[in-house]
Structure 1
């Protein structure tokens, strides 16, 4: 508070306590009450009250601004959480994990691919996801025995996991660390 009157918050608190401690009105207490009121008057001048009200107004506006920002941040967090825990994303990550833990396609194994095999396999699953039951695509990079269509959604999940494997391989080749490896 950088106005002409300096407000001593502790003094105001002390004066409020003194006024609260005043005895009730009565024939024997009136003089003591008047003395207390007179001693504490400095904390209750119109100028001090006006300055305090102005500061409260500023703080209230700041609080509302902060409250609005908090609400916006909470909404954004909820949006990001909804995206992060999207079932499709979780299914792709689970498939990538399955490929590694069940099929044994380790990062070291994937590092051996140098001719976009992982990306090509992903493309095959993605392109043919809605064309179930056809023969192995001509550009399938591996033995036809590994072409295993499983339905549109499942094939797209496989495609996503294969793309993730290719991105991880590229990152490893570039020296970019991949968590969990």
Structure 2
């Protein structure tokens, strides 16, 4: 399988995820029952899903960024609705990614200095770069190691790309038609329009 042919594996993973979710909703694992062997099948699906992801013919770095993005959504709650908040409209996610990417290139002493966010108000060249990039609660800024920080950087940049794509799709969508005849509107809306026209 080539790197460019990940559509089929992605669809397979999505199908497995839906089957696992359906099993969870029915409580098969919770009740601890084997409903016609379906509980065992669900556990098998969980293992096969992990194997399928591992088998994808893409670089480990790509997978790790995708896994980190999924972790941000599932564990942190940073989903599309969260990312579409107005505060993120000015590149805050991309800037946060840039902060992690920048810190991945620092030497250990510099990383330790930046990791102590309580000192970010002290002025030096490191904080002068990172402080404007990180627009979130400082307690959320956690350096791990350079590679892990690059995974976070990539996932945050990916989140901002997804946010921009959604915004562009909304902007390109045709506007909802507004009926010119107030009688075709719900009674309260029709009354409001009639009152506004009478006031003119």
Distance in 2 separating the partners of 1:160 and 1:111: 18
SS across alignment from 1:99:
helix
Which of 112, 128, 137 is matched with 2:103 structurally? 128
TM-score by length of 2: 0.46
Distance in 2 separating the partners of 1:107 and 1:80: 25
SS across alignment from 1:168:
helix
TM-score by length of 1: 0.51
CA separation of 1:105/1:130 partners in 2, compared to 1, >3 Å: closer, same or farther? same
Cα-to-partner distance string for 1:140-179 (whole Å, 9 max, x where unaligned): 1111101100100000000000000000000000117xxx
CA RMSD of aligned residues (A): 2.1
Which of 103, 106, 113 is matched with 2:79 structurally? 106
> Aligned residue for 1:164?
158
1:83 positional shift: 9.0
SS across alignment from 2:131:
coil
Comparing 164-173 and 80-89, the one that deviates more: 80-89
Moved over 2 A (4+): 77-84, 134-137
1:78 positional shift: 4.4
SS across alignment from 1:105:
coil
Which of 98, 119, 137 is matched with 2:94 structurally? 119
Aligned length: 100
SS across alignment from 1:89:
helix
